[in-house]
Amino acid sequence: MSIGGSTIEQALATLSDMTAGAVPIGKEEHLGRIDKAQAYMRAQGIAAIYLNAGANLTYFTGTKWYASERMVGAILPASGALEYIAPGFEESTLKDYMLVDGHVNCWQEHESPYRLFIATLARMGVNPDAAAPPRIGICESAAFFIYEGIRPLADGYALENASTVTAWCRGRKSAAEIALMQRAKDMTLAVHVATASMLHEGISTVEVEEFIARAHRKVGAPGSYFCIVLFGEATAYPHGVSYVQTLKSGDTVLIDTGCKVHNYISDITRTYVYGPISERQRSVWNSEKAAQRAAFEAAQLGVPCEDVDRAARRSLEADGYGPGYKLPGLPHRTGHGIGLDIHEWPYLVGGDKTPLDVGMCFSNEPMICIPGEFGVRHEDHFYMTEHGPKWFTEPAHSIDDPFGLRAAS
């Protein structure tokens, strides 16, 4: 039995640490990322970019630091060595976290980090020029106060969004990144299977969330990176509801969760029914599966991202949903990129004309929402290879056997 029938301890006993052999991204790959970014910057005429604390700083330098009210980051010039900027009292700690070494430009608490940023650019050879201002990319994830601090001091520079560089680099995953994402997704799928097995009538959504956190720890993750558990009518709300639900026979169950492995994220949703399945539930479940398949088949190299979203909506509209974002139907985009952040560029949505390229990774989740009844979301991720899309995890098998356990026996 795949849905129910096991105790919590029996379900946990099916899991074991799955992180053996998972290799974190090493210094050589980070240096390669810097080289790749600098070559791209030179080709695009971008003089330097600022990488704020967070995912962009981690991606390029391997240095993990959380964004705060203090400016901490790195300046990456189109040519030459990367340099850091940080409060003076954090210099030793920052150096301790560094993977890619670099000079640390320090500011004291009474000083302006933004003035130091401009002075450092000039010292690095990126000088202001009123006639032809050097283009300086500011990290897209930096808080607005950082941009506002730099802007008044940036005469002779042209400030712009650094995502021109960061999104281009991060959107195309390496084999090492894909391997870490594969491991994280394998772990979360195992957690899904265990979770389904321990459901019972009367269990609350909070109790299931607590189990999933324990299960993620059992497979080797720090816990759940995020977790959404919904029963019954609440499943019609993509990101959940404010109240706790209790499981009843015949309820639709939607669980969306993920974990991290060496900073890379998993994100998988499974929807099934606890107890007897109605024809309505079966019909909607199958329509969702068909839309997910249509999106996957449309995801071919060179195809604009928006065409993948369009394929999913065509499938849903053929089954009477929508049109467009109208309910009952799909109220959001078909998918998002994923990597160090759970939502990354590009996006499978109308208006995103980015051509699909090797190494791009996406969720595929064209959810059907039926307010007042229930919702169904199948979410698996795929990555683009030289031969087209490849699933990280195979989609749900059927509403009767969502994890394919009976088919495999």
Q: For residues 377 and 335, state if they share a domain.
A: yes
The CATH number for 90's domain is 3.40.350.10
Q: For residues 386 and 348, state if they share a domain.
A: yes
Q: From first to last of its 409 residues, what are the pLDDT tens digits of the chain?
A: 589 999 999 999 999 999 999 999 999 999 999 999 999 999 999 999 999 999 999 999 999 999 999 999 999 999 999 999 999 999 999 999 999 999 999 999 999 999 999 999 999 999 999 999 999 999 999 999 999 999 999 999 999 999 999 999 999 999 999 999 999 999 999 999 999 999 999 999 999 999 999 999 999 999 999 999 999 999 999 999 999 999 999 999 999 999 999 999 999 999 999 999 999 999 999 999 999 999 999 999 999 999 999 999 999 999 999 999 999 999 999 999 999 999 999 999 999 999 999 999 999 999 999 999 999 999 999 999 999 999 999 999 999 999 998 776 6
Taking the chain, what is the end-to-end CA distance rounded to the nearest angstrom?
A: 11
Q: For residues 163 and 264, state if they share a domain.
A: no
Q: For residues 259 and 236, state if they share a domain.
A: yes
Please give the single-letter amino acid code of residue 403. Answer: F
pLDDT given at position 1 = 52
* Spatial distance between the Cα atoms of 393 and 310, rounded to a whole number of angstroms: 23
**Closest to 362 in 3D by CA, of 296, 409, 284, 302:** 296
- Does residue 106 belong to any structural domain of this protein? yes
pLDDT given at position 254 = 98
Q: Which of 170, 185, 207 is the last residue of a domain?
A: 170
Q: For residues 47 and 188, state if they share a domain.
A: no
Q: Which of 170, 187, 203 is the last residue of a domain?
A: 170
- Does residue 335 belong to any structural domain of this protein? yes
Q: For residues 345 and 300, state if they share a domain.
A: yes
Place of tokens 């695009």: 44
**Closest to 235 in 3D by CA, of 274, 207, 289, 181:** 274
- Does residue 217 belong to any structural domain of this protein? yes
Q: Which of 141, 170, 199 is the last residue of a domain?
A: 170
Token pair belonging to 190: 């195992």
Give the domain extent around 77: 27-170
The CATH number for 183's domain is 3.90.230.10
Answer whether 76's CB lies under 8 Å from 47's CB. Answer: no
CA angle 50, 56, 60 (to 5 degrees): 90
Alpha carbon distances (Å) from 335 to 98, 181, 294, 381 = 33, 16, 13, 9
- Does residue 51 belong to any structural domain of this protein? yes
User: What kind and span of H or E run contains 59?
Assistant: helix 55-61
Token pair belonging to 304: 């604009």
Q: For residues 127 and 157, state if they share a domain.
A: yes
Q: For residues 153 and 260, state if they share a domain.
A: no
Q: For residues 249 and 381, state if they share a domain.
A: yes
CB atoms within 10 A of CB 275: 14
Q: For residues 324 and 203, state if they share a domain.
A: yes
Domain count, the chain: 2
pLDDT given at position 259 = 98
Q: Using the Cα atoms of residue 382, residue 388, residue 394 and residue 396 in order, give the sign of their dihedral.
A: positive
Q: For residues 107 and 229, state if they share a domain.
A: no
Q: 270-273 contacts: CB < 8 A, separation 24 or more? A: 270/192, 270/196, 270/378, 270/396, 270/402, 270/403, 271/235, 271/375, 271/376, 271/377, 271/378, 271/396, 271/402, 272/3, 272/196, 272/396, 272/399, 272/402, 273/3, 273/399
- Does residue 239 belong to any structural domain of this protein? yes
Q: For residues 134 and 207, state if they share a domain.
A: no
